[in-house]
Amino acid sequence: MESRYDRAITVFSPDGHLFQVEYAQEAVKKGSTAVGIRGTDIVVLGVEKKSVAKLQDERTVRKICALDDHVCMAFAGLTADARVVINRARVECQSYKLTVEDPVTVEYITRFIATLKQKYTQSNGRRPFGISALIVGFDDDGIPRLYQTDPSGTYHAWKANAIGRSAKTVREFLEKNYTEDAIANDNEAIKLAIRALLEIVQSGGKNIELAIIRRNQPLKMFSAKEIESQVTAIEKEKEETEKKKSKKTA
């Protein structure tokens, strides 16, 4: 049944599926994991860095991109599609600022990206964008925001979410560990993001990239050293809790 209804994006199957959109969601699962966390005064984006070929310049393989001074996003899926979406979003941010003389709200730019994606699910001869995006930032009112979009063009606000290859595992981890204590202060929120990624990343800190936005501050990308120090701190904490546990049982 599927094979007769999955070639054209504009064709529904008898049971109401748009198979091209569902297949686009599979393409997203081929990208490496990205996690987003909304704290009280901070938003954190963490991604699993893809291993770069020896002769390749690392700087050209970026999963976290700024859309404006106060908004940034991480994506998972087809690299080229992401580049196109990011460019359109960046242009829209500036166009909005020129027209309205105010920076975009996070929700506005998310809605713009989602509408763009939805358009591509409804016209003939095109295919959906094969990316999901996590968009974070602060609005003028100072409230932190985290949104997620997917290839179908839907968007939702989240407290914490993950997209990409092992998103399910990371989301389960976040559901268990996202508590008021976990995001009590900025450092805790950063640690939560790193701990979530360490669940699925293969060789520890050197395969993680992290970016944060604090209220009224621009995007900050963490250096490899800073990430390493966070990872060591997390591992130390883990050891201490293990010791305490073994003492209790003994």
Partner 1 sequence: MAATFFGEVVKAPCRAGTEDEEEDDEGRKETPEDREVRRQLARKREVRLLRRQTKTSLEVSLLEKYPCSKFIIAIGNNAVAFLSSFVTSSGVWEEVGCAKLWNEWCRTTDTAHLSPTEAFCVFYHLKSNPSVFGSCPRKNLQITVLTCRHVTDYKTSESTSSLHPPFLKALKTQNFKEPPCCSLLEQPNIVHDLPAAVLSYCQVWKIPAILYLCYTDVMKLDLITVEAFKPVLSSRSLKGLVKNIPQSTEVLKKLVTTNEIQSNIYT
Instruction: Sort 202 into a burial class: Cβ within 10 Å, 0-12 / 13-18 / 19+.
Output: exposed
Give the x/- contact pattern for partner 1 in 172-211, rule: CB under 8 A: ------------------------------x---------
List, as one string, the DSSP characters of 9-59. Answer: TT---TTS--HHHHHHHHHHTTSPPEEEEE-SSEEEEEEEPPPPPTTS-GG
Q: How far is the CB of 132 from partner 1 (least distance, A)?
A: 12
SS3 label, residue 162: strand
With CB under 8 A as the contact rule, the residue among 27, 45, 170, 231 that binds partner 1 is: 27
With CB under 8 A as the contact rule, the residue among 20, 32, 121, 161 that binds partner 1 is: 32
Residues contacting 97, CB < 8 A, separation 6+: 68, 103, 104
Q: How far is the CB of 250 from partner 1 (least distance, A)?
A: 25
Q: How far apart are CA 33 and CA 30, in angstroms?
A: 9
Q: Does 154 bind partner 1 (CB under 8 A)?
A: no
Are the CB atoms for 179 and 29 separated by under 8 Å? no
Give the x/- contact pattern for partner 1 in 76-105, rule: CB under 8 A: xxxxx-x-----------------------
Q: How far is the CB of 131 from partner 1 (least distance, A)?
A: 9
Contact residues: partner 1, CB under 8 A? 2, 22, 26-27, 30-32, 50-51, 53, 56, 61, 63, 75-80, 82, 202
